[in-house]
Amino acid sequence: MKIRIDETAGFCFGVVRTINIAEDRLESNKNKKKTYVLGSIIHNPKEIERLEEEGLSTVTHADFEHIANEGSDLIVRAHGEPPSTFTKAKELGLDLIDATCPLVTGLQNRVKRFYDKGFQIVIYGKANHPEVIGIRGTIADDCIIVSGVTEAEEKVMLDKQTVLFSQTTMEKPVYKKIKEVLSKRVSELIEGGDTKDLFQAKNTLCKEVWGREKKVLEFARENDIVIFVAGRNSSNGKSLFKHMQTENENMHYIEDSDEINDNWFSGVESVGITGATSTPQWYLEKVKSRISEINELENIQ
């Protein structure tokens, strides 16, 4: 049985940057002071466990006053935070280490610029996702969050200048459909005159995320079975997995190698292993080792 890890899998740039910042702080703070991160550093429990073993602790906003008295380092994860978080930290004397993905920071800034110009802000994303919470906070939560075309049709006011943005890890095909629907409906209400700039759409999807879509489809076609490794709460993971299922129904989404079932590989000639942009390469290797053990046992029997 051939077992292969998808060569395009692994951390995206934003996650790599955040992990590097955390590891550098953990190393410099060793035996000196504690290192905290505000919320799960990424949506992958295995990588969180690894960093916790190195000394990283996860805290919430409710812990601010307690840790402010320690003189510890507090990291803002790749998803970013609303301005209110930085304000509160400053008031308490907390020095935040900003590890927000540059793409997310850029998205927050663009949304704020359009908001200040009086545009109705529409965001394709998940309202309670950390990234979206950060974006909402930059404009006092004065925006419309939509998860699909139906919500866009129901919620968006058609008589306002409107701009569409997207959470960086959402699905490109859905974004395009929302854009098409809103571009037609918003302009319908304007009779005569110049309708230019009445509706604008800014593609703020992460290219590293949607750029993998074509490659993972090829990977799905090339293997009899695909083991998809990602955290259960990974938006990118759920999206890629769903996308790959259109080409290969023989797929399994796992978070832990213990979830692997020996019976999945009966009569299988090729196994592909891939994951989300928050799935560490070292854990994909661990999954491969587990499947190799199953294969060896079958050969012995």
For the chain (length 301 residues), average pLDDT per consecutive 10? 94 94 95 93 94 96 91 93 95 92 96 95 95 97 97 90 93 93 77 64 89 90 97 89 94 97 93 95 96 79 45
| pLDDT at residue number 301 | 45
Please tell me the predicted confidence (pLDDT) of residue 197. 65
**Phi, psi dihedral angles at 229 (to 5 degrees):** -110, 120
Residue 271 is predicted with a pLDDT of: 97
271 vs 251: CA distance, rounded Å = 10
Q: Output the six-digit token pair for 115.
A: 């908001």
In the chain the domains, ranked by start, together with CATH numbers, are 2-10+210-300 (3.40.1010.20), 13-101 (3.40.50.11270), 103-167+171-204 (3.40.1010.20)
Q: Cite the DSSP H helix spans in 167-212.
A: 172-188, 207-210
Report the Cα 94 to chain-centroid distance in Å: 26
pLDDT of residue 71: 84
The per-residue pLDDT for 219 is 97
The predicted pLDDT at position 61 comes to 95
Strands 162-166 and 199-201: parallel
Burial class of 297 by CB neighbour count within 10 A (0 to 12, 13 to 18, 19+): exposed
pLDDT at 296: 82
Q: Which of 186, 204, 206, 207 is closest to 196 using CA atoms? A: 186
Q: Which amino acid is at 60?
A: T
Among the options 7, 49, 65, 131, which is catalytic?
Answer: 131
54 is catalytic: no
Contact indicator for 186, 163 with CB cutoff of 8 Å: no
